[in-house]
Copies of this chain bind each other. A is one copy, B any other.
Amino acid sequence: MATRDDVARLAGVSPSTVSYAISGRRTISDATKAKVLAAMRELNYTPDAFAQGLAGSRRGILALHFPTSVDGYSSTEFEYVSAAMERARALGYHMLLWSNPTTDVMGLESLVGQKLVAGVLLMEVSVNDPRFDVLRRAKIPFASIGRPDDSEDLSYVDNNFAEAGRIAVDYLADLGHQSIMYINVSVEDQQAGNGPAIRTARAIAQAAAARNIPMLEVPVENNARGGREALETYLQLASRPTAVLGLKEFATAGFVNAAGMASLQIPQDLSVIALGVSGRSAEMVAPALTTVAPPGERISQKAVDALVQGIEARVPQVIQELVSPEMAVRQSSGPAPKPKS
A residues lining the B interface (CB < 8 Å):
1, 44-51, 53-54, 59, 61, 64, 68, 72-75, 77-79, 81-82, 85-86, 89, 94-100, 110-111, 113-116, 223-224, 249-250, 253-254, 256-257, 260-261, 280-281, 283-286, 288
Contact check, A99 vs B73: say whether CB atoms are below 8 A apart: no
Contact in complex: A113, B46 (CB < 8 Å): yes
Q: Enumerate the 8 nearest inter-chain pairs by beta-carbon distance, A residue then B residue, closest first.
A: A46-B113, A257-B286, A224-B283, A49-B114, A50-B53, A78-B78, A49-B116, A253-B284
Q: Within the complex, which residue of B44, B54, B253 is in contact with A51, where a contact is CB–CB below 8 Å?
A: B54
Rounded to whole angstroms, the CA-CA distance of A64 and B257 in the bound complex is 36
Q: Please name 7 further chain A to chain B contacts, defined as beta carbons within 8 Å, in addition to the given A72-B280, A224-B288, A257-B288, sorted by A numbering.
A: A44-B113, A68-B86, A75-B77, A78-B81, A94-B111, A95-B97, A253-B284
Number of copies: 2
Cross-chain contact of A48 among B45, B54, B61 (Cβ < 8 A): B54
7 contacts between A and B (CB under 8 A): A75-B75, A75-B78, A224-B283, A224-B284, A224-B288, A261-B286, A281-B284
Residues of B contacting A260 in the complex (Cβ-Cβ under 8 angstroms): 286
Given A50-B53, A85-B99 in contact, is the A286-B284 Cβ separation under 8 Å?
no
Given contacts A75-B74, A75-B78, A78-B73, contact A50 B116 (CB under 8 A): yes
Report the nearest B residue to A73, measured CB to CB: B78
- A95 vs chain B, min Cβ distance (A): 5
Q: Within the complex, which residue of B85, B96, B111, B223 is in contact with A280, where a contact is CB–CB below 8 Å?
A: B223
Q: Report A254 CB to chain B, min CB distance, Å.
A: 7
> Which residue of the partner chain, among B48, B223, B254, contacts A114 with CB atoms under 8 Å?
B48
Chain B residue with the shortest CB-CB distance to A46: B113
Kindly list chain B residues whose C-beta atoms are within 8 Å of the C-beta of A81: 78, 81, 97
Q: How far is the CB of A184 from chain B (nearest CB, A)?
A: 19
A97 contacts which chain B residues (CB < 8 A)? Answer: 64, 81, 85, 95-97
A72 contacts B68, CB within 8 Å?
Answer: no
Interface centre among A48, A64, A97 (most CB of B within 10 A): A97
- CB-nearest residue of chain B to A77: B78
Q: Which residue of B lies closest to A99 (CB)?
A: B85
Query: Once the chains are docked, how many angstroms separate the CA of A262 from the CA of B198?
Result: 40
The interface centre, meaning the residue of A50, A89, A94, A113 with most chain B CB atoms within 10 A of its CB, is A50
The CA of A110 and the CA of B92, in the complex, are separated in Å by: 12
- Bound Cα distance A288, B284 (Å): 11
Q: How far is it, in angstroms, between the C-alpha of A53 and the C-alpha of B116 when the chains are bound?
A: 10
Contact B86 A283 (CB under 8 A): no
Contacts of A89 in B (CB 8 A): 98, 100
B285 engages A284 (CB within 8 Å): yes
A72's partner among B79, B100, B286 (CB-CB below 8 A) is B79
**Minimum Cβ distance to chain B for residue A69 (Å):** 9
| A207: min CB distance to chain B, Å | 27
Beyond A97-B85, A99-B86, A261-B286, whether A54 also contacts B44 by CB under 8 A is no
